[in-house]
Chains A and B, each alone.
Chain A
Amino acid sequence: RKEVEQDPGPFNVPEGATVAFNCTYSNSASQSFFWYRQDCRKEPKLLMSVYSSGNEDGRFTAQLNRASQYISLLIRDSKLSDSATYLCVVNPTSGGYQKVTFGTGTKLQVIP
């Protein structure tokens, strides 16, 4: 099993739709989780952290399910500008010299 897995998509959704992505991880002791957004030919940018209790930032909601070892990102009322690739990131367990793992990304295309 890969350390971090994402459905590559593409997810093609109409403007205004609600879309959700999942990201599964294999290390049950992982400590922190993030969602990044990457536009074509640009660097990844932090979208939001993922907290155990779930968190929301405007139209975006992130959730963590430790029992099933996945994180999710929900985008409501999709905008054309949301078209991008969304990367999940799983940070290492505490203690020791372990590396951060990026998912390969889920591509979202919002259609007019």
Chain B
Amino acid sequence: DGGITQSPKYLFRKEGQNVTLSCEQNLNHDAMYWYRQDPGQGLRLIYYSQIVNDFQKGDIAEGYSVSREKKESFPLTVTSAQKNPTAFYLCASSIDPYQPQHFGDGTRLSIL
């Protein structure tokens, strides 16, 4: 079955540690996105990529980094510079920016 896989489902980070969240899709979609959602809040765009080897900052990119070396993969690194990383992280993909996005089931990141 085609879809988007995020891993891990739950992740705990120590202070000062970088962590990487995985996002893989086998839908052959060009566009991929990372969002952050805080409790009771809407989605906020961290980074997006419309094509391999290209990505753009979203509204809250500070403290995060991404890469897009393969069409299928769009990993997100939460760096130690992100002072409040506890949140629900959602990865999505779409055929192009004008088509609906399909989401993975998310990663919950918490600080130890």
Contact = CB atoms under 8 A, between A and B. Distances in A.
Interface of A: 31-32, 34, 41-46, 49, 87, 89, 91-92, 94, 97-100, 102-105
B48 A99 contact: yes
Contacts, number: 49
A46 B92 CA distance: 12
Contact of A97 (B33, B42, B43, B56): B56
A97 B43 CA distance: 19
Interface residues of B, number: 22
Q: Is the interface of A mostly helix, strand, loop or mixed?
A: loop
A43 B106 contact: yes
B101 A100 contact: yes
Contacts of A41: 88
A71 B110 CA distance: 36
